[in-house]
Structure 1
Amino acid sequence: MPGGTPTPWSYFFIRLLFQFVLKIFYGTIVVENVDLIPETGEPCIVCANHSNSLTDALLLVTAIPSRRRNMLRLTAKSTQFGKRTFTSWLIESAGTVPIKRRKDYNNAPVDNSIVMGNLMEALELGDAVCLFPEGASRYHPSIAPMKTGVARIVSDVLSRNKDNPDVAISILTCSITYMHRQHFRSDVLVTFHPPTRFTPKDNPELLAPVEFEEIRLITARMHQQISSGTFDSPSWDLIRIAKLCARMYAPLGTGMSLGDYVRVVRSFLDAFKLSLTGFDGRNGRTLTGSDTDKSDHRTEEEEELKKLRQGLKAYQDALVRLGVKDDRIRRPLPRLTILRRIFIRLTWSLLLVCISLPGLLLWLPIFAATYIGVRNFTKTGPIWDTWDEIAQYKLVYGLISGICVWLGCMLVTFPIAFLTAVVVPVVMWMTLRWMEDAISSFRAFSALVRLFLVGTTTLQEMGHVRQELYQGVMKLAKALGLPNDPEAYFAESGGTEKGRVRGSWESKAKYFSIRRRRKRDWNETLRLYDKVDYPEEGL
């Protein structure tokens, strides 16, 4: 096999641009298992879940380091091409291949034969091609049934080169997990799974004529791998409850890496799928007839899970209604301590806002342009059809307006523009860092005020409810094989992505890190309130 298509100069520029924009928009981007990515020259199809439109593709381009692959050939819906928009230029400049979708052509038949031929030729040259097997991006808690196109391409490539003993093609699955996909300074986990390698010699069953069952088995294996590394739920409500379980199991402040956090939430999520009537959480399908008879022995376990799930939902609803955090129910504070902390949090928040005011003037046009642009876009359709593109629109509007602010500042200060070109981005970044801490302090201030207003009797009753639920959560965690002492376990095995520190002095120093904020909760976003809820079911 040749060594892959030479990387065009525009790809280097586009990749750097993607990295810059994503690092600003998302607080932390964690990439796991980079060593599993096949190297340049090895034909590879990268497959991932697709919940965030163009942003998913941008993440994959930046997540795959250049030392492993020189470039990643993207695919996108054909309606994104040929427009006089920045998004269209961005897609075309990255060497993206247009794919026609029936839904974009009134469900009429579409012809992608030429495109598929081009993709196979790219693979035969040793390129890496990105495909999203779900077929479309969508704002939904579950992964859609995957189409068989990837497996068919593998079969076609092997069949075209069946007499070449050196031919080999890999499917590299990837799970993308957004804590809150469209919210500023949220966090993202990208997890690569072990690739599956195919050759004509080892996989004669994929040579033409191929049985559809073989294609279906490959597609099912891809679905299992991708769903195992992210949140795949029949409802938003179940994700909400699983996250509450994770917070109770590993309380606020536990030094847990983002990957470990996602896997813990996923473990609870899989367990709670069993509590749904007629739903088999292990394979994600509805039980029927004989299946139900075979699962009778799990009835008692499912009833316990159902009871725990209902209790957790009621408890989370009560927390939202009172405006307090689970950690304050777990560790009650004396009234005088609450008052003292209210004063400290408010003072610190106001101080940070004051020193951020000059930089906020630079950010104001960006926030305004992004807000207006996204608001107008969301009016064009329902949640399920537009919300998967909100992050994409925020990225594009933010980038364009940010460049305009930067150029405008250099124009106004033309005699010293060479200094402005450096000072303005530095000021804007430090303002963003200070605002993250200011908003976090204000969230804590608001939570403490609400906690002070809640009666002692109510807090005690909530404490009793929590204690009972906590016992159920820990019993479930033990059954799932999770560590008995999460705080001690993850303090040793967890990563440093959340600013995990050792010792009081290092903790204080890390708080002022220029690189990123030291978060205590992976659920945190740059908002004045804690983001714990999701869209109503059915939207």
Structure 2
Amino acid sequence: MINLKGSPTPWSYLLIRLLFKFVLKIFYGTIVVENAHLIPETGRPCIVSANHSNSLTDALLLVTSIPSKKRNMLRLTAKATQFGRSTFTSWLIESAGTVPIMRRKDSADGTVDNTEAMRKLVEALEMGDAVCLFPEGMSRYHPTIAPLKTGVARLVSDVLSRNRDDPEFEVSVMTCSVTYMHRQHFRSDVLVTFHPPMTFRVKEHPELLAPVDYNHIRQITAQMHQAISSGTIDSPTWDLVRTAKVALRIYAPLGTRMSLGDYVRGIRTFLDAFKLAESLSAETGEQIVEDHKSARQVIELRNDLKAYQDQLVRWGVKDDRIRRPLSRRTVSSRMFIRLIWSIVLFTISLPGLLLWFPIFATTFYAVHNFKKTGPIFDTWDEIAQYKLVYGLFSGVLVWFTAVVLTWPIAPFTFVLVPAFMWITLRWFEDAVSAFRAFTALLRLWRVGKPALKRMRDKRDDLHSRVMNLALSAGLPENPETYFAERGGREKGRVKGPWDSTRRYFSIRRRRKRDWNETLRLYDKVDYPDEDT
């Protein structure tokens, strides 16, 4: 088909994309985008559909992850309750050309009419735009993807039906999986994976033209769910996510040069194995005995991994300290080095931290009060959004104040202040990491050799069982070698000792050995209670 021109890009959209690309790169340590080359170019009607676990942050992440050379803009949708309010968030979504979507849960009588919204989306697609829809229908703090609503598939049917006279007219559904390591924590990591588009043409899909059999709508929705789910961590419970991460860490130990995408897919592999074993053990009736035996073994492994991680948490150490035991002399010398290094970095970071303090204090106060407004599943999905907005406002205020107070040299401080704050953040990250390593070594020193020996024996047993499960699930036999050689020089990878050292001192970003790392004085391995 002949490409359409697409809608012109509003200036506010350009501003938002530039502004939040900067803010997101500060808040999240690494944002890895996979398969951006698959995105249809401007002029080809496209519906971007992703899982929805982080409120407005999901939309901002998609806006900044889609290259401007591929799409000039992504027309967003948002719940209607976000519109018409005297807030920065409301102005933000309205000025970017966002289309309001009404939800039944927000209606007093439970009825809604989104006819006008669907009409606007159809018209945007007919102009060659890309529109963004979150088919779960709502954002929530939960480890599993909710059943998808059929709005995307119905939109495909509507736009094809309106253009039935043009047999070459097409519309694509671009599914996307967004995975946050810890969505609300500062300097955590994010993976954005685009999947091959599902393209529908008038001449090739007459079954989608009105009047349409609703089974075809359900079939498209099921395909979307499968694609989105396959690229992220989709689990019935947080506890299962935690255990799958432990299994992957034993399979591919700390320091394995694994990309963030491979890390997420590895977790997903173990997660699928645990879910399959659970479903097999729950089935009744005649089953193959060998399958049940295998399922019981996997469930036993899952329980033993959980107990192993629980003990690590009680001790406050990582699996790597059990895998590679250190002599008490080595532990003592490393404790000294880590402590001195953390003190040095904290000292040189102190002047810059005075600029960061108002930002940290403002966001902490705002989020602390916001958490009181509702249960975890209904409020924690908006924490990152609050941190981004309040951090942006307080950061700009700090920047403006510093420029005003240094007015005689304002042209210099206008550039130097944000640069100084950035390098401070890099030093502070390394300082926190060094202090976290010191405290872990101190706890390890206190455990004692007999307890560590018993834990090492337990880990050796777990390692052999995890490797058996990994090989049966199709993972490579030698993960450290395989992942070091796999793929190209993508972001988040290091190639060899020299590159590893250079990345560690990189000004752009901290080189992480552990994708689970956040800017915390403790290792973030646990999740909130399920029913809080």
TM bucket, shorter chain:
over 0.9
Alignment equivalent of 2:216, drawn from 200, 214, 217: 214
Deviation at 1:294, TM superposition (A): 5.2
SS at match of 1:162: coil
Contact 1:324 1:450 in 2 (8 A): yes
Paired residues for 1:477-488 under 5 Å:
477-488=470-481
CA RMSD, Structure 1 to Structure 2 (Å): 1.3
The aligned residue for residue 497 of structure 1 is 491
Residue 339, structure 1, aligned to residue 341, structure 2: no
Q: Quote the offset at 1:172 in angstroms.
A: 0.4
Deviation at 1:507, TM superposition (A): 3.2
Contact (CA 8 Å) 1:52, 1:181: kept in 2 or not?
yes
Shift of 1:322: 1.0
- Deviation of 1:275 after TM superposition, in Å, equals 2.6
Post-superposition Cα deviations, 1:439-480, rounded to whole Å, max 9, x if no partner, equal 000110000000000021110110111110100000011101
Aligned counterpart, 2:32: 30
Cα gap change, 1:139 to 1:295, in 2 (>3 Å): farther
- Residue in structure 2 matched with residue 116 of structure 1 by the alignment: 118
Q: Distance in 2 between matches of 1:71 and 1:498?
A: 27
- Verify: 1:101 aligned to 2:95, yes or no: no
Mapped contact 2:280–2:295 kept (Cα < 8 A) = no
Question: Following TM superposition, by how much is the alpha carbon of 1:276 offset from its aligned partner in structure 2, in angstroms?
Answer: 1.8
Distance across 2 between alignment mates of 1:10 and 1:324: 47
Alignment correspondent of 2:50: 48
Which residue identity does 1:422 align to in structure 2? Answer: V
1:408 corresponds to: 401
Pick aligned residue for 2:92 from 80, 90, 93 = 90
| Kept in 2: contact 1:272–1:305 (CA 8 A) | yes
Deviation, 1:496, is 4.1
Following superposition, the deviation at residue 510 of structure 1 comes to 2.5
Alignment correspondent of 1:518:
511
SS where residue 189 of structure 1 aligns? strand
Pick one of 291, 300, 304 that aligns with 2:293.
300
Whether contact under 8 Å (1:413, 1:420) holds in the other structure is yes
Q: Is residue 430–residue 514 contact of structure 1 (8 Å, CA) maintained in 2? A: yes
For residues 61-80 of structure 1, give each alpha carbon's deviation from its aligned partner in whole angstroms, at most 9, with x where no partner exists. Answer: 01100111110000000111
For 1:175-234, what per-residue CA distance to the aligned partner results, in whole angstroms no more than 9, with x for missing partners?
Answer: 000000000000000000000111111111111111111110000000000000000001
* Cα separation, 1, equivalents of 2:288 and 2:213: 32
The whole-number CA distance in structure 2 between the counterparts of 1:413 and 1:9 is: 31
Partner of 1:392: 385
Structure 1 CA distance, aligned partners of 2:344 and 2:109?
57
Q: More deviation in 245-254 or 105-114? A: 105-114
Listed as ranges, the matches of 1:364-513 within 5 Å are: 364-494=357-487, 495-503=489-497, 505-513=498-506
State the Cα deviation string for residues 104-123 of structure 1 (Å, max 9, x = none). Answer: 12352111101111100100
Alignment check: 8 A CA contact 1:14 1:93 kept: no
CA–CA distance in structure 1, aligned partners of residues 150 and 286 of structure 2 = 32
Secondary structure of the equivalent of 1:535? Answer: coil
Shift of 1:95: 1.2
CA distance in 2, matches of 1:296, 1:456: 42
Runs of 4+ in 1 over 3 A off after TM superposition: 292-297
- 8 Å contact from structure 2 (residues 280, 292) kept in 1: no
What are the Cα deviations for residues 294-314 of structure 1, in whole angstroms up to 9, with x where unaligned? Answer: 566521110110110010000
Out of 231, 234, 240, the residue aligned to residue 232 of structure 1 is 234
Inter-partner Cα distance in structure 2 for 1:400 and 1:39: 34
In the aligned structure 1, how far is the partner of 2:513 from the partner of 2:491? Answer: 11
- The whole-number CA distance in structure 1 between the counterparts of 2:41 and 2:227 is 21
**For 2:112 and 2:296, how far apart are their aligned partners in 1?**
48
| Partner SS state of residue 277, structure 2 | coil
- In 2, the alpha carbon distance for the partners of 1:382 and 1:322 equals 30
Please state whether the residue corresponding to 1:274 is helix, strand or coil. Answer: helix
Give the corresponding residue for 1:284: none
Conserved? CA contact 1:329–1:466, under 8 Å: yes
**1:321 matches 2:323:** no
The one-letter code matched in structure 2 to 1:512 is: F
Unmatched 5+ stretches in structure 1: 280-286
Which SS does the other structure have where 2:8 is aligned? coil
Write the distance in 1 (CA, Å) between the matches of 2:348 and 2:216.
62
Q: Which amino acid aligns with 1:411?
A: V
CA distance in 2, matches of 1:499, 1:336: 32
Q: Secondary structure at the match of 1:92?
A: helix
Aligned residues: 529
2:238 and 2:280 map into 1 onto residues whose CA distance is 18
User: What is the SS of the residue equivalent to 1:516?
Assistant: coil
The one-letter amino acid paired with 2:166 is N
Q: Give 5+ residue unaligned stretches, structure 2.
A: none
* Distance of aligned partners of 1:294 and 1:224 in 2 relative to their CA distance in 1, 3 Å threshold: farther
Once residues 294 and 133 of structure 1 are traced to their aligned partners in structure 2, the CA distance between those partners, rounded to angstroms, is: 36
State the one-letter code of the partner of 1:26. Answer: Y
Task: State TM-score, norm by structure 1.
Answer: 0.96
Q: How far apart, in 2, do the equivalents of 1:358 and 1:499 lie? A: 32
Greater shift, 34-43 or 82-91, is seen at: 82-91
Output the TM-score relative to the length of structure 2. Answer: 0.97
Q: Deviations over 1:89-137 (max 9, x none)?
A: 1111221111111111235211110111110010011100000000000
Cα distance in structure 1, aligned partners of 2:280 and 2:472: 22
AA partner of residue 414 (structure 1): W
SS in 2 for 1:521: coil
In 2, distance between residues paired with 1:9 and 1:537?
43
Instruction: Write the distance in 2 (CA, Å) between the matches of 1:383 and 1:255.
Output: 34
Report the Cα offset of residue 160 of structure 1: 1.1
* 8 A contact 2:143–2:237 mirrored in 1: yes
| Greater displacement, 259-268 / 98-107 | 98-107
